[in-house]
Structure 1
Amino acid sequence: MTYKSILIDQITACYNDKSWFIPLADILADLTVSEAVTENENKQSICSIVNHIIYWNERWLERFKAGEFVSNNTINNDETFSLTPDQFEDLGWNETLIRLEKVFSNWRTVLEETDESKLTRQIPEYYNAQWWGVVSNLSIHNAYHIGQIMLLKKLIRVK
């Protein structure tokens, strides 16, 4: 096993490989836009959590491809959960799902093309963490939110 193979496995398990938990693509496959934007008592919705997942996966993918950590302090983490008006319509929700699939697909492609040595490089600007650890933690972050999404879906469907 290599860092690369483990990271590819983690990214794939999160999005579309049935393993220890239901992957995100399967959870979202039959979800209506109405269900996706339904808020719980904490004002969270499946769509808002998906936006958050997309945001952080895109940011870290950009950083990984650039080979450096550039902080984006212009956005508050709470803003990454925001919905856009078009996401309340089928077309906007479908575009969100396409963007989600694209970022996970891009992660797999980039990791497959990455030399193993890049994964052990440290990121001085980010606690001297190695890239493999950062990408692995991103997968843990994804799995955490996938669990939230699954729970929200179950709660919505019970009502």
Structure 2
Amino acid sequence: MSNRKELLLTQLYSCHHKDGWFPPLNVALRGLSEDQVTKGGEQSANSIIGIIRHLVFWNERYLQRFKEGSLSPMEISNAETFEQGAFSELDDNWDNMLQRLNYVLGQWEEAISNCDDAKLESRTHPDQDECWWTSLTHLAMHNAYHIGQIVHIRKEQGLWETWFEL
């Protein structure tokens, strides 16, 4: 396995389910009720479920491009990806959103594990200079950034002791 593939998998695992320098999503989201995830914190513009909608949207979108090489035009703005109704009403259910998030993150791990190095070196789009391994490091950092927001909201709501205890 190449060093780049190992790095990407380490980043994806760390964001999804492997304890490391920060809590992974499965820890940051553990034990939350639907009522708790729909409320934001005192200083937070978004709710936890809104952040999860946003993460699902972008991870699914990039995974589609990675697998199929193309994307349909965006029909919503980035800000709208956080809002209720960004997906079907069914997906606004907390359990369904969690399943969808875990599924797409697992699909990313599988896709990276099974791709060859040439795919990681290829461009994300013919009109862009960025290659996939660079773009995917940014995607992992984006996921980690939003994990921090989730933890912050939990702290504002009094729902976070330390992640080692959750």
TM-score (norm 1): 0.89
Structure 2: any 5+ residue segments left out of the alignment?
160-166
Alignment match, 2:163:
none
Letter in 2 for 1:32: S
C-alpha deviation, 1:73, in angstroms: 3.0
- Map of 1:19-98 to 2, 5 A cutoff? 19-40=20-41, 41-66=43-68, 68-70=69-71, 72-84=73-85, 92-98=93-99
Structure number with the higher helix fraction is 1
Contact 1:69 1:126 in 2 (8 A): no
Q: How far apart, CA to CA, are the structure 1 residues paired with 2:148 and 2:137?
A: 17
Structure 1: any 5+ residue segments left out of the alignment?
none
Structure 1 residues 8-52: Cα deviation after superposition (integer angstroms, max 9, x where no partner)? 110110010001101011111111111100023554100000100
TM-score (norm 2): 0.85
Structure 1 residues 66-90: Cα deviation after superposition (integer angstroms, max 9, x where no partner)? 1x353623210011001245567xx
Cα-Cα RMSD = 1.9
How many residues align structurally?
A: 154
Alignment match, 2:121:
120
